[in-house]
Structure 1
């Protein structure tokens, strides 16, 4: 059992972990459900993409389909971004938009990824972009194309070029991994023979805070994901756990037991200026900041069982937030502060979403062993870990639960996903 699961057991839970396999396989994507509205779009192959190591159009297609917002329909797209669509024929195929592009190698070895988007209904050019990129960054350039298409057709920022972090466990080895939002381009940020738990992104995406047991003691450290350097910020007497960055990145919320019991403390990102902000005779843990940085949402069993509470960062009394069910943990706030995702135990462990203004709660998962929900930076999607068809997976869902994408994993114990911010 992982140490984080042991901590949850202290709150009254005991979760069984699946068997492990030493083999690690790259993700594949399985999409389930249908969004309420899907935009029909024709996506042509990018000229010269067959000469490159990656198929731009295949990556873009997978991104758009995974979003649940788009439906790829058959139709003839222009040969490249300089062509002219046959609007009448495309309309007859039911298309609302069409995309074409190219991926041409430049003299300096870079690949110039270009695309253009047309509104078929209006018969209008919606613009495009050119991005010269290194061959190693071709997937990222394709995700940028997807982001542009998503934004032009929905008015909201796309999240395809963002990243996710998560932890895997194999016999004698724990790995903190970072991937693109589609689960591809896997990189090992850290490998250790001791547990790694509770990863949390900094707001600028340059660092990950997490809990390490490297010296057989729970400590909070921060790792620069670009430089590969690590610094220790909390190694007090007792347990140091559950780090979370403030929206401005200057402050960390952590759970410490240095004064007896487990309580939420705030500290500077350097580890200085430590101050306790929760007061109870129970366990207070898993604090997350509100998007404006004025409040924390955290889990406490002060009322008898684990529930989610809200409290000002300046201290004072805490207000209980969750009332549906006797066991609610792992809070996550949407970027606009309107939604709260969390795990509730009923017949199983399921992802729930609460509208904080109305208090309305709905389940958004179809599985029963969910954990660690985390919002995408545009607030439209949630990623979480669960078990499906006997295997550990990462799942994404729209916040209404109508469209899900399963990232399949072969054999490894995979836990605690956290969706990174915009920017790389």
Structure 2
């Protein structure tokens, strides 16, 4: 069974084989809040001579809609399409049942764009926010996500994740019949994908550095496992661990100076830390059990890991310098693959019972567990930077897809790669 093989750090060769067609993830909302707030995002006015490379208002619309907390109005249902405050007739939007309205304009200026947008409360007939920004021409999409951030935070009082990125592994079968693995990075909405590494041997376990500038990952490109650290801006990478046996499950310390990892060079798989400057190793566990999947607490004081020392895979916590480990999970016959929220209050995991493997979140204060998903084989949970969503891998139609669920369980999304399998997601820290 695949999740058990992951605990054993197998090669994960059973990635689903399908023909390659497209590299971009498509997001579909599968469940939202019943009390989603109606909001209209009117197409922004554009004063340029040629079409814009990105439809800013459409990006904002999609961002807000996929949270599940907003219900956006289709453009064809809009009675008017104002772009300036003086053109807004609030009754037009009240009759459509809209609570909020967003309008804007974009004008070109010497290779840059001036963006001016306003947010209105429709029933109070008043502006809530106005904002202007000037952005380089190659950052139009990023600016659209920034607008989404501003609107979401204004209306909900919560942080958002629209401008963040995700890393993930894809697997496609080429026309020559060879299966190719890619480590890719894309915007949180699945757009703008870029290949970080590619190999005809498995790639796995991507992990973001705390500053979001590097990825650590496992590659079998040299026919055995090795851990690499790669700078995203330049593509420069270094092989930091290639010991005999297993080299797996890298996890960055909060200050970015170390990796926690799993090595079996001394026999059974154990947890080590690797100082990235000196390349010195510190062994933290010395059990005969399988100890794997380490993850640091946000304050750097502790490491949570998966171990079968009690007979079945469960989560344990120990001091970051090593020492006695305390068992964290007792519900279910399988708990593995931990991931902390950025504030350290919640711990996501794969929670198994009687052959079903679902994503759950533990409240670190009360130790209560809330199961968020209903899949049979859900795995690899990763928190969004704000802590409001959990990204994870699941199956659909016999292939790997990515899914996301809000921590309260109300909003569910599916992220599919047309023509390919996708797995092992990791949400960037910022």
Distance 1:80 1:194, change over 3 A: same
After superposition, residues 12-411 of structure 1 pair within 5 angstroms as 17-35=15-33, 37-48=35-46, 51-73=51-73, 79-80=82-83, 82-83=85-86, 85-106=88-109, 108-170=110-172, 171-270=178-277, 272-346=279-353, 347-411=355-419
Q: What is the root-mean-square deviation of aligned Cα atoms in Å?
A: 2.5
Tell me the secondary structure at the aligned position of residue 51 of structure 1: coil
What is the distance in 2 between the residues matched to 1:77 and 1:42? 11
Checking the alignment, whether the CA contact within 8 Å between 2:170 and 2:421 is kept in structure 1 is yes
Q: Which runs of 5+ in 2 are unaligned?
A: 173-177
* Partners of 1:250 and 1:14 in 2: CA distance: 29
TM-score by length of 2: 0.90
Partners of 2:89 and 2:351 in 1: CA distance: 51
- Cα 1:77–1:134 shift into 2, 3 Å: farther
Aligned residues: 419
TM-score normalised per structure 1: 0.91
What displacement does 1:24 show?
A: 3.2
Residue 82 of structure 1 and its aligned partner are, at CA, apart by 4.7
Cα–Cα, structure 1 residues 192 and 16, in superposed 2: closer, same or farther, change >3 Å?
closer
Distance 2:390 2:239 in 1: 30
Inter-partner Cα distance in structure 2 for 1:365 and 1:15: 25
Superimposed CA distance per residue, residues 157-215 of structure 1 (whole angstroms, 9 cap, x where no aligned partner): 22111000001122332111011001111111111222211000011110000112222
Mapped partners of 1:64, 1:172: distance in 2: 36
Cα distance, 1:86 vs structure 2: 3.4
Offset at residue 298 of structure 1 (A): 0.5
Deviation per CA, 1:294-345: give whole Å up to 9, x if none: 1111000111111111111132211111111111211111112111111123
Q: Secondary structure at the match of 1:197?
A: strand
* C-alpha distance in 1 between matches for 2:84 and 2:274: 51
Query: 2:8–2:290: 8 Å Cα contact kept in structure 1?
Result: no
Alpha-carbon distance between aligned partners in 1 of 2:34 and 2:368, rounded to the nearest angstrom: 20
